[in-house]
Chains A and B, each alone.
Chain A
Amino acid sequence: MSYFSNIYNGIKTLLKGMSVTGKYFLTSRKGAITQQYPDNRETLKMFERFRGEVVMPHDENNEHTCTGCQKCEIACPNGTIEIIWDRGINEETGKKKKEIDKFVYHLGLCTMCGLCIEACPTDAIVWAQNYENSVYDRTHLTKVLNEPGSKVKAGIED
């Protein structure tokens, strides 16, 4: 008797599958995943976890939170990050203190693994969601992330 129940179950499950894909077919206009990219480059917004490039956010006083600990430089598997640092003298206490001069980031070497961002103890660097990274000259791919004249935010090391 399993012969006939096989036929019945076969037809039933096939129809169930067809109803699922049929629903997808009818709603495909609204639910289309495809982005028609060059047409919507003004409105296209990448999702939160998209890894475009590493950036260093600055607040309104042109202050970042990078202390120059170089953990990101050590974490990077292929030498994408170079931190050029110096010792400045704190005016109040007169102590010498490490601070960054240039945070150099080679986008051309980066594999977007995200280990630097995981390693950062002060969340000084984050992912940006931009995606149009092609340039005509590869020297444009070497970027200095800290803006000129910026300094570390007070109290971040405490």
Chain B
Amino acid sequence: MSIAINITGTIQDWLMNMMPEGVANIVAMVIVALIYLAIFAVAGLYLVLLERRVAAWFQLRIGPNRVGFQGMLQTMADALKLVSKELTGTVKADKFLYNLAPYFVIISSLMALAVFPFTKEFQAFDINIGVLFLIAISSIGVIGILLGGWSSNNKFALIGAMRSGVQTISYELSIGLSLLTMVLITGSLQLSEIVEVQKNGWLIIQGHIPAVIAFMIYMIAGTAETNRAPFDMVEAESELGAGFHTEYSGMKFAYFFLAEFINMFIIAAIATTVFFGAWLSPFGITESIPWLGVFWFLAKAFILVFLMMWFRWTFPRLRVDQLLTLEWKYLLPINLVNIVIMALIVWLNMTIQF
């Protein structure tokens, strides 16, 4: 039993029968975009709920469990409340950039979602430079944060945004280099090719020691990239109010908030794709049923999301100088050595393959 779920392909074929080719292409794109937008708006809301429940369990509390079964509708209600709130702003704000910033952040995080292979042929955009595209897109998001902080005309927001710039530019290196380590094994940046290579064992097993080191570095840098605790210099409630989004309210604030959680999912999804075999099931147990790949992909991604939440509710925050020391004195040199080791392993054919 195999269901063809090449979504763009199937929708396009169906539309082709009704209208000319050019129109069909555009309509298909719009439909796929709307599907992704709807799914990930809801997914973002549920990630917020997951975060709150997990945080509660770590702190021996119960967490929101009143709205709907086990609090399932809590974040929906919160979102409705935020929609109904007034959009306030500062008088001396740069109005154009101030209004543009949240869309920058949310669009860049939604764009990154397009390239993930959720299961066989369930991928909106299989670009041949997939990993590079992801790294590039994820660094565009910081421009939104910088714009938001700059245009708010607020000192807290500006300092928060500048810290975010420092942090993201530093940790971008580690993310890129740790993914590059894995690209040495796959020999391709295309995400579907990377999955194809992992049919002989997930990359974290194929690359053994250097792959595990690369994964650890990736998770540290990824947590820093999403501006989450223990690296939440950007928001730093005790020092900066709410950081770069101090002046935002209502739905614009919700965009920043949602983007933060979708970014967390993106970081987990990249790790799933590059280290843990994307939609491939462990030991190939459900290889004959491709649509179960969605389940495996999401399961792996959510385990990694949970890992990031675990970090958040365990570790104390770093100072800015400690943050930069960690990156430039520890992660970066280890990463460079790691790449050399990985290159040697690939060259000497010491990877573990099944």
Residues on A lying within 8 angstroms of B by beta carbon are: 7, 14, 17-18, 20-22, 24-25, 28-29, 31-34, 36
B348 at the interface (CB under 8 A from A): no
Given A21-B310, A22-B310, A25-B57, residue A14 in contact with residue B315 (CB < 8 A) = yes
Chain B min CB distance to A105 (Å): 36
* Interface size range of chain B in the complex: 10 to 19
CB pair A7–B57 under 8 Å, yes or no, is no
Complex Cα spacing A25 to B314, Å: 11
CB pair A28–B315 under 8 Å, yes or no, is no
Given A7-B330, A25-B57, residue A18 in contact with residue B62 (CB < 8 A) = no
CB pair A24–B315 under 8 Å, yes or no, is no
Chain B min CB distance to A89 (Å): 61
Complex Cα spacing A14 to B313, Å: 12
Chain A min CB distance to B230 (Å): 10
Chain B residue contacts of A36, Cβ below 8 A: 62
Chain B min CB distance to A80 (Å): 35
Residues on B lying within 8 angstroms of A by beta carbon are: 54, 56-62, 310-311, 313-315, 330, 334
Chain B residue contacts of A31, Cβ below 8 A: 60
Chain B min CB distance to A63 (Å): 45
Chain A min CB distance to B29 (Å): 42
CB pair A33–B315 under 8 Å, yes or no, is no
CB pair B60–A32 under 8 Å, yes or no, is yes
Complex Cα spacing A126 to B314, Å: 42
Chain A residue contacts of B314, Cβ below 8 A: 14, 17-18, 20-21
CB pair B310–A18 under 8 Å, yes or no, is yes
Chain B residue contacts of A29, Cβ below 8 A: 57
Chain A min CB distance to B52 (Å): 13
Q: What would 5 more interface pairs be, CB under 8 Å, given A17-B314, A18-B310?
A: A17-B315, A24-B58, A28-B58, A28-B61, A34-B62
Complex Cα spacing A54 to B183, Å: 72
- Enumerate 26 A-B pairs (CB-CB under 8 Å) in ascending A order: A7-B330, A7-B334, A14-B315, A17-B314, A18-B310, A18-B314, A20-B314, A21-B58, A21-B313, A21-B314, A24-B57, A24-B58, A24-B59, A24-B60, A25-B54, A25-B57, A28-B57, A28-B58, A28-B60, A29-B57, A31-B60, A32-B60, A32-B61, A32-B62, A33-B60, A36-B62
Chain A residue contacts of B311, Cβ below 8 A: 18
> A20, A29, A33, A34: which has the most chain B beta carbons within 10 Å?
A34
> A14, A28, A31, A34: which has the most chain B beta carbons within 10 Å?
A28
Chain A residue contacts of B59, Cβ below 8 A: 24
Chain B residue contacts of A33, Cβ below 8 A: 60-61
Residue of B nearest to A16 (CB): B314
Partner of B61, one of A7, A17, A18, A34: A34
Chain B residue contacts of A25, Cβ below 8 A: 54, 57-58, 310
Chain A residue contacts of B334, Cβ below 8 A: 7
Residue of A nearest to B314 (CB): A21
User: Sorted from nearest, which 6 A-B pairs have the closest CB atoms?
Assistant: A28-B57, A21-B314, A34-B62, A17-B314, A34-B61, A25-B57
Residue of A nearest to B316 (CB): A17
Chain B residue contacts of A18, Cβ below 8 A: 310-311, 314
Complex Cα spacing A135 to B39, Å: 49
